[in-house]
């Protein structure tokens, strides 16, 4: 009796799970059940090849959307390749890369000296390559009824986030925004609660552009205690949206319908745009004292060049110029070539709102990528 | 307890009884069975030793690091004191869990009593089933619901509380907008542990010996007196262990806290203000991705602290239960 | 017996039976009625958030749910594309949770049997105590433990399904032990003694009488344990990683699970759609998160339903 019931239960379980296993598909784009019919995936960006294997990458969550677009584009060109990106965070990505668990990492910050040495070991006999392939403006977003845009000088932004300017109708804000009816409302700054590249870039900007109003050291962790904060870019955006009189900083692609701040550059106020972000990267010098394959940009936050937006996040793609396995080297080289290509950068721009790299930078990147050898 | 010992002593006399049908084979089977059971217990000890050993091993670099090294981690206070970092986290963790328990347990007992002793039989069956189902809903779903749906609705209530009861330190204002505060976390955690505490309590209340209940009623007790005299004393240890189950869930809950709370490291009683509290589990999840090896080790040290807290809580609960151990079904 | 003790103790000084029967007891009946209202109110108030939870998950998750959503993975899906599904996550959740249950149910049940039926002395006390300790292991620490265990033997950066299963087992075992133990202790000793007196060996008594009698409770406990681990996010994030293709192999490569999928979709947030993009839904990530939450809840409910049926079938004829 009991045995028969057990057998029945097993049979039932198998009967339920068998069709489940049969109907799974790894091709959602061209699946016949897709609502609205299947649209063709992104056009093959590079010549169809016979690459196969799996490329595992991990790192900064800022790159997640862009990486998804790159993986999709690359996989449609090489159907036998599996690209996976694990958004564990920059620190996790750097650690795993140095340990050799992954071939490629994404990081919001360049490697520090210690990591650089370890990474050079991991990549020996080659070099470690740090490629600035994801450039994205950071927007200062706020939630005020009926106001879509405000001008703020660096000192005002710093004052608001240092909580020395506490009301929306303060004189400093009003001075930059003649003719705007500012409400008499408390300002609630919203920051990132987790350590992040976005915070680091934002505090770096404040420290460089408004040293008097911003007395804190640049840091990936928000230096003030006791305010509103949230995890991740979407957490900040959500919190700013839910509150009244809130202001925060977030990856520009997620700003959505929130009001945004045009930052003071020289005598102008520049709203964020991918072009203005790319312009800043072009106007900034290369960091000195790093390996040849390392294209680290030393962002010039105080640049007064017209049309540059000073609040920019540059996220690097870490790879080696030599891999033990020939197949790995071939795969990484092909993938990075695609990512740096115009198609790849356009795919990221459309999926993640990032700023396509300039032709000059692309040439430098491609030169490094061509050097990737077994 | 004593019954069990009695039975264990009785075993050698009973096992080789002449009525045994098959004899010798059972002896070996019995030994194997006993060995399997004991082995499982020992295996648990081994696993736990491995986890604890790993925790200590991984936390050691942070525990033994110099203050300068620790201070280099951006989220550790500038004086580089690990205790100064862990202290507010422990405070926040305990505060959140106690808040959740205070809100949830009385209500859970009420629901469990309603289902077991007040509701009509047929309705009770359906409700019992429903509560079991709710207890099975994963906490990540409660987190999603609490963060996206419930929290915004509590804004007005917290505003009212801080305006009218602000003189009580707990409700000190102004209430934060949006309400990403400890009070909200407490409510969401309470809702989260409510079904599980209810499910276990109901199960225990239903186990109250029929004779006890009938004896109470026969003595002229009203239904409430019967509940108070027969059901509650019998179920007390069950309710306590149910609460511990809920407390475990509340202490270790990561997602909901992560999605709702604006963290901050202070010893503040102001439940309605943002950026005052943080829990250990949420903090680990929050800082883990970007942490360097020493940072990971510091976070694991905080995990160790959480471990110790639950240890103390469990020991306290065990002590309470053992004082009341008289009502065990095995007697 | 014990309860009569309590009755007399709480009502001291003791009234005589005559007094009890004749004393006007309006106050007691008022208390009784008040408590009935309080208990009912507690129930009704508590049902509001719980019912709203179910309703929100249903209504938010429903419109994204389709056979297509269940049948495909997320491979090649990015941005606001109106495509992609959770097949890979369902597979991952079922495989990993199933493996965790296979590991922890036998260990947990046998430990409970040991504690209730055999355990005496220091070892039993130690096991009881440390099972309690184990209940308090934070889930993220369990994940770290499993990750380190596999990293030591298989090298750093290893991500595989079975590591997640080990992490979940660490969380699941103590819950199984505790609930099984609780249920075994509720089996009246008279049943054990009756069986032993008939000459049935102890181990057969345990299997055929004790475990059979408490089968329903044990299954419920196991379901609660599964429910505790099936929604775990943090340990799986560490041990399984994130992937958007299907992976059936527990022993090789990253695996997606439903809770991690929900968390990832939630944290990706709104998609920036340009007005000229036709195939772009701004809220697609939240839609997918809710739909996946709905599926997760349905899976848990189905498991629960199955457990009910099993429990009813295997339970002995109702005596009480």
Chain B residue with CA closest to A89: the answer is B289
Chain B positions touching C224 (Cβ under 8 A) are: 135-136, 196, 199
Q: Are residues C29 and C78 in the same domain?
A: no
Between the CA of residue B282 and those of A38, B306, C114, what are the distances in Å?
A: 41, 11, 36
Same domain, C31 and C79: no
When pLDDT is cut at 50, 70 and 90, the band that residue C96 belongs to is very high
Three-class SS of chain A: CHHHHHHHHHHHHHHHHHHHHHHCECCCCCCCCCCCCCCCCCCCCCCCCCCCEEEEEEECHHHHHHHHHHHHHHHHHCCCEEEEEECCCHHHHHHHHHHCCCCEEEECCCCCHHHHHHHHHHHCCCCEEEEEEEEEEEEEEEECCCCCEEEECHHHHHHHHCCCCCECCCHHHHHHCCCCCCCCCECEEEEECCCCHHHHHHHHHHHHHCCCCCCCCCCCCCCCCCCEEECHHHHHHHHHHHCCCEEEEEEHHHCCCCEEEEEEECCEEECCCHHHHHHHHHHCCECCCCCCCECCECCCCCCCCCCCCCCEEEEEEEEECECCCHHHHHHHHHHHHHHHCHHHHHHHHHHHCCECCCHHHHHHHHHHHHCCEC
SS3 C72: strand
C11 within domain boundaries: no
Determine the pLDDT at residue C173. Answer: 92
- Which chains are adjacent to chain B, needing at least 3 Cβ pairs under 8 Å? A, C
* pLDDT tens by residue, B114-164: 888 888 888 888 888 788 778 777 777 887 888 778 888 888 888 888 888
C43 and C174 housed in the same domain: no
Euclidean distance between CA atoms A156 and A135, whole angstroms: 25
- Burial (CB count within 10 angstroms: exposed 0-12, middle 13-18, buried 19+), residue B190: buried
ipTM comes to 0.77
Considering only CB atoms, which chain B residues are within 8 Å of C31? Answer: 222, 224
pTM of the model: 0.81
Residue pair A298/A186 in contact by the 8 Å Cβ criterion: no
**In this structure, how many other beta carbons lie within 10 angstroms of the beta carbon of residue B292?**
18
At residue A125 the predicted structure's pLDDT band, cuts being 50, 70 and 90, is: confident
CA B324 to chain C, closest CA, distance in angstroms equals: 12
Count of A-C CB contacts under 8 Å = 143
Between CA A90 and CA B287 the distance in angstroms is: 11
Q: What is the mean pLDDT of residues A43-63?
A: 73
- Decide if A227 and B178 are in contact by the 8 Å CB cutoff: no
Q: Are residues C76 and C57 in the same domain?
A: no
Pairing state between β A81-86 and A259-265 = unpaired
Tell the residue number behind the tokens 């405000």, with chain if given: A150
Is C120 in the same domain as C233? yes
- Please determine, for residue C319, whether its predicted confidence score (pLDDT) is greater than 70: no
Let me know if C313 is exposed, middle or buried by CB neighbors in 10 A (0-12, 13-18, 19+).
Answer: middle
- Are B267 and B87 in contact by the 8 Å Cβ rule? The answer is yes
The answer to whether the CB of B295 falls within 8 A of the CB of B69 is no
The partner residue sitting opposite C203, judged by closest CB among B34, B144, B227, is B34
Average pLDDT of the segment spanning A57-71: 87
- In this prediction, residue A20 carries a pLDDT of 55
Residue C198 lies inside a defined structural domain of this protein: yes
Residue of A nearest to C84 (CA): A28
Cβ–Cβ gap B288/A89 under 8 Å: yes
Mean pLDDT of B89-115: 91
Interface test with B, best of A111, A219, A225 (most B CBs within 10 A): A225
pLDDT in tens, B212-243: 888 888 887 888 888 888 888 888 888 887 88
Q: Does C186 share its domain with C258?
A: yes
pLDDT at C89 over 70: yes
Residue B293 pLDDT > 80: no
- Rounded distance, CA C300 to CA B260, Å? 25
Rounded Cα gap, residues A236 and A251, in angstroms: 10
Buried b (16+ CB within 10 A) or exposed e, C215-226: bbbbbbbbbbbb
* Mutation site, A8, A13, A14, A24, interface C, largest C CB count within 10 A: A24
Flag whether pLDDT at B56 surpasses 80: yes
Q: Which residues of C touch B313 (CB under 8 A)?
A: 136
Judging by beta carbons within 10 Å of its beta carbon (0-12, 13-18, 19+), is residue C145 exposed, middle or buried? Answer: buried
Q: For C256-265, what is the mean pLDDT?
A: 89
Q: Tokens in use for A315?
A: 């996220």
A30 touches chain B (CB under 8 A): no
- Out of B3-12, B269-278, B306-315, least confident range: B3-12
User: Is residue C87 a part of any domain in this protein?
Assistant: yes
Does the residue C318 lie in any domain? no
Q: Is C2 within a domain?
A: no
Q: Is A193 part of the contact surface with chain B (CB cutoff 8 Å)? A: yes
Q: Are residues C258 and C215 in the same domain?
A: yes
pLDDT at residue C21 in the model: 62
pLDDT at residue number C2: 43
Q: What's the rounded Cα separation, in Å, for the pair A232 and A81?
A: 30
Q: Cα B86 to the chain's mean position, in Å?
A: 21
| Banded pLDDT at A339 (limits 50, 70, 90) | very high
Kindly state whether residue C293 falls inside one of the protein's structural domains.
yes
Which of B152, B275, B290 lies closest to A225 in CB terms? B275
The whole-number pLDDT of residue B7 equals: 42
Q: Write the residue in C75, C267, C279 that is nearest to A39 by C-beta.
A: C279
Instruction: Let me know whether C33 and C72 are in one domain.
Output: no
Query: Mind listing the domains of chain A with CATH numbers?
Result: 2-134+287-296+315-370 (3.40.190.10), 138-278 (3.40.190.10)
User: Band of the pLDDT at B327, cuts 50, 70, 90?
Assistant: very low
Claim to verify: residue C139 and residue C286 sit in the same structural domain: yes
**C-beta separation of C99 from C236 below 8 A:** no
pLDDT given for residue B273 in this prediction: 85
CB under 8 Å to A242, separation ≥6 — which residues?
B151, B152, B177, B178
Question: What pLDDT score was predicted for residue C316?
Answer: 56
CATH number at residue C78: 1.10.3720.10
Stretch B163-192: mean pLDDT, rounded?
86
What pLDDT does A218 receive? 87
In chain B, what residues touch A89 (CB-CB under 8 Å)?
288-290
- Structural domain including C54 reads 16-61
Is residue A12's pLDDT more than 80?
A: no
User: Is the per-residue pLDDT at B58 higher than 60?
Assistant: yes
- How would residue C3 be classed by pLDDT, with cut points 50, 70 and 90? very low
State the Cα–Cα distance between residues C87 and A25, nearest whole angstrom: 8
Q: What is the pLDDT of residue B98?
A: 92
Find out whether A60 and A108 touch, Cβ atoms under 8 Å. yes
Q: How many structural domains are present in chain C?
A: 2
Nearest by CB to residue A228, choosing from B262, B265, B289, is B262
Domain presence at residue C6: no
Which residues of chain B are within 8 Å of residue C178 when distances are taken between CB atoms? 241, 245
Q: Which stretch of DSSP H or E encloses residue B294? A: helix B293-323
Q: How many CB atoms lie within 10 A of CB A354?
A: 30
Nearest residue, CB atoms, C77 vs list A28, A33, A231: A28
Do C224 and C289 share a structural domain? yes
The tally of CA atoms less than 13 A away on the side-chain side of residue B62 is 30
Q: How far apart are CA A302 and CA B239, in angstroms?
A: 63
Chain B residues with beta carbon closer than 8 angstroms to that of C110: 36-37, 39-41
Q: Tell me whether strands A128-143 and A259-265 are parallel, antiparallel or unpaired.
A: antiparallel
Same domain, C160 and C194: yes
Distance CA B288, CA B295 (A): 8
Q: Which residues contact B316 (CB under 8 A, 6 or more apart)?
A: none
Residue C164 has pLDDT above 90, yes or no: yes
Residue from A274, A22, A309 nearest A157 by CA: A309
Between helix C2-10 and helix B210-218 the angle, nearest 10°, is 40
Q: Is residue C9 part of a domain?
A: no
The beta-carbon neighbor of B44 closest among C111, C117, C193 is: C111
CB–CB of C99/C220 below 8 Å? no
* Cα gap B100→B91, rounded to integer Å: 14
Q: Between A22 and C17, whose confidence is greater?
A: C17
Taking CB atoms and an 8 Å limit, are B144 and C308 in contact across chains? no
Question: Mean pLDDT throughout A317-338?
Answer: 90
**Final residue in a domain of this structure, among C61, C81, C96:** C61
Q: What count of other Cβ atoms lies within 10 Å of the Cβ of residue C231?
A: 27
Is the pLDDT score of B318 beyond 80?
Answer: no
By CA distance, what is C248's nearest residue in A?
A21
Closest by Cβ to B47, choosing from C170, C182, C231: C170
Calculate how close chain B gets to A306, using CA atoms only, in Å: 34
- CB distance from B71 to chain C under 8 Å? no
Nearest to A103 by CA among A297, A336, A292: A336
Is the CA virtual torsion B14, B16, B18, B19 positive or negative? positive
pLDDT of residue B22: 47
How would you label A81-113 residue by residue, b for 16+ Cβ within 10 Å and e otherwise?
bbbbbbbbbbbbbbbbbbeebbbbbbbbbbbee
Q: Which of C61, C91, C115 is the last residue of a domain?
A: C61
d(CA C287, CA B299): 33
In the structure, what pLDDT confidence band is assigned to residue A242 with cuts at 50, 70 and 90?
A: confident
Interface of C with A in 238-267 (CB under 8 A): 241-246, 248, 253-254, 264, 266-267
Indicate if C23 and C92 belong to the same structural domain: no
Contact across the interface for B276 and A226, Cβ inside 8 Å? yes
């Amino acid at each position: 009796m009991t045995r028969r019931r057990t057998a029945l239960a097993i049979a039932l379980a198998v009967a339920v799970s068998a069709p489940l296993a049969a109907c799974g598909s790894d091709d959602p784009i061209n699946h016949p059940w897709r609502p609205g019919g299947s649209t063709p995936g992104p056009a093959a960006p590079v010549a169809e090849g016979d690459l196969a294997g799996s490329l595992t990458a991990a790192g900064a969550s800022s790159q997640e959307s862009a990486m998804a677009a790159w993986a999709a584009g690359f996989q449609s060109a090489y159907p036998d390749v599996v690209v996976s990106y694990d958004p564990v965070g920059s620190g996790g990505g750097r650690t795993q890369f140095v340990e050799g668990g992954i071939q490629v990492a994404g990081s919001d910050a360049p490697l520090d000296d210690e990591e650089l040495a370890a990474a050079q070991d991991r990549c020996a006999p080659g070099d470690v390559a740090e490629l600035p392939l994801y450039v994205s403006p950071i927007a200062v977003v706020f939630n005020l009824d009926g106001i879509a845009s405000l001008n703020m000088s660096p000192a005002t932004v710093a004052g608001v986030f240092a909580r020395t300017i506490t009301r929306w109708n303060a004189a400093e804000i009003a001075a930059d925004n003649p003719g705007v009816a500012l409400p008499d409302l408390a300002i609630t700054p919203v920051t990132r609660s987790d350590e992040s590249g976005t915070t680091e870039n934002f505090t770096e900007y404040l420290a460089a552009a408004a040293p008097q109003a911003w007395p804190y050291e640049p840091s990936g962790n928000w230096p003030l205690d006791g305010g509103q904060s949230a995890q991740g870019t979407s957490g900040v955006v959500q919190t700013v949206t839910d509150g009244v009189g809130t202001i925060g900083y977030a990856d520009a692609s997620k700003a959505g319908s929130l009001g945004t701040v045009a930052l003071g550059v020289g005598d102008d106020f520049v709203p964020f745009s991918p072009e203005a972000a790319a312009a800043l990267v072009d106007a900034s010098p290369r960091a000195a004292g790093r390996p040849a394959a390392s294209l680290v940009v030393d962002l010039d936050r105080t640049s007064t060049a017209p049309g540059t937006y000073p609040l920019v996040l540059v996220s690097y793609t870490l790879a080696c110029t030599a891999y033990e396995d020939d197949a790995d080297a071939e795969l990484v080289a092909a993938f990075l070539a695609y990512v740096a290509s115009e198609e790849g950068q356009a795919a990221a721009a459309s999926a993640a709102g990032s700023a396509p790299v300039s032709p000059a930078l692309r040439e430098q990147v491609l030169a490094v990528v061509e050097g990737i050898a077994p | 307890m004593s019954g069990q010992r009695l039975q264990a002593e009785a075993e050698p006399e009973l096992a080789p009884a002449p009525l045994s049908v098959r004899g010798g084979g059972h002896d070996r089977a019995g030994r194997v069975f006993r060995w399997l059971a004991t082995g499982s217990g020992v295996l648990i000890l081994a696993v736990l030793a491995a986890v604890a050993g790993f925790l200590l091993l991984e936390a050691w670099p942070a525990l033994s690091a110099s203050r300068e090294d620790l201070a280099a981690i951006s989220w550790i206070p500038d004086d580089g004191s690990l205790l100064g970092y862990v202290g507010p986290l422990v405070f926040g963790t305990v505060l959140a869990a106690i808040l959740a328990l205070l809100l949830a347990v009385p209500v859970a007992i009420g629901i469990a009593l309603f289902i077991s002793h007040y509701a009509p039989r047929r309705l009770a069956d359906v409700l019992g089933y429903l509560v079991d189902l709710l207890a099975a809903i994963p906490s990540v779903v409660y987190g999603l619901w609490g963060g996206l749906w419930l929290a915004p609705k509590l804004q007005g209530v917290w505003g009212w509380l801080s305006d009218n009861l602000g003189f009580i330190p707990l409700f000190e204002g102004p209430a934060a907008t949006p309400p990403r505060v400890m009070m909200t976390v407490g409510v969401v955690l309470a809702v989260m542990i409510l079904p599980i505490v209810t499910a276990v309590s109901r199960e225990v209340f239903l186990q109250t010996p029929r004779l006890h209940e009938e004896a109470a009623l026969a003595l002229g007790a009203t239904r409430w007196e019967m509940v108070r005299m027969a059901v509650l004393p019998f179920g007390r240890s069950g309710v306590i262990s149910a609460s511990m189950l809920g407390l475990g869930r509340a202490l270790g809950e990561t997602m909901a806290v992560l999605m709702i709370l604006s963290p901050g490291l202070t010893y503040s009683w102001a439940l309605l203000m943002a950026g005052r509290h943080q829990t250990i589990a949420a903090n680990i999840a929050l800082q883990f991705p970007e942490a360097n090896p020493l940072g990971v080790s510091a976070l694991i040290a905080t995990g160790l602290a959480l471990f110790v807290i639950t240890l103390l809580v469990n020991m306290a609960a065990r002590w309470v239960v053992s004082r009341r151990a008289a009502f065990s079904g095995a007697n | 017996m014990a309860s009569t003790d309590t009755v007399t103790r709480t009502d001291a000084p003791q009234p005589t039976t005559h007094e009890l029967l004749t004393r006007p007891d309006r106050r007691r009946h008022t208390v009784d009625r008040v408590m009935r209202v309080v208990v009912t109110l507690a129930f009704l108030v508590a049902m509001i958030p719980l019912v709203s939870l179910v309703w929100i998950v249903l209504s938010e998750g429903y419109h994204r749910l389709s056979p297509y959503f269940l049948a495909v993975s997320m491979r090649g899906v990015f941005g606001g594309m109106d495509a992609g599904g959770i097949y890979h996550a369902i597979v991952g959740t079922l495989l990993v949770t199933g493996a965790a249950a296979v590991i922890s149910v036998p260990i947990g049940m046998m430990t409970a049997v040991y504690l209730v039926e055999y355990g005496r002395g220091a070892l039993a006390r130690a096991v009881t105590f440390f099972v309690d300790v184990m209940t308090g292991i934070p889930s993220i620490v369990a994940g770290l433990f499993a990750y380190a265990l596999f990293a030591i033997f298989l090298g750093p950066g290893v991500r595989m399904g079975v590591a997640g299963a080990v992490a979940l087992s660490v969380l699941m075992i103590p819950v199984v032990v505790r609930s099984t133990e609780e249920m075994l202790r509720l089996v009246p000793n008279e049943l054990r003694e009756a069986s032993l007196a008939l000459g049935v060996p102890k181990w057969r008594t345990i299997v055929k009488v004790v475990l059979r009698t408490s089968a329903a409770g044990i299954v419920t406990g196991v379901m609660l344990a599964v429910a505790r681990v099936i929604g775990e996010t943090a340990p799986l994030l560490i041990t399984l990683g994130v992937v958007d293709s299907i992976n059936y192999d527990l022993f090789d490569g990253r695996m997606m699970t439903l809770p991690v999928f929900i968390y990832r979709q939630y944290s990706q947030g709104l998609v920036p759609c340009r007005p000229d993009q036709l195939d772009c839904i701004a809220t697609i990530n939240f839609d997918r998160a809710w739909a996946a939450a709905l599926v997760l809840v349905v899976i848990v409910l189905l498991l629960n339903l199955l457990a009910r049926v099993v429990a009813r079938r295997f339970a002995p004829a109702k005596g009480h």
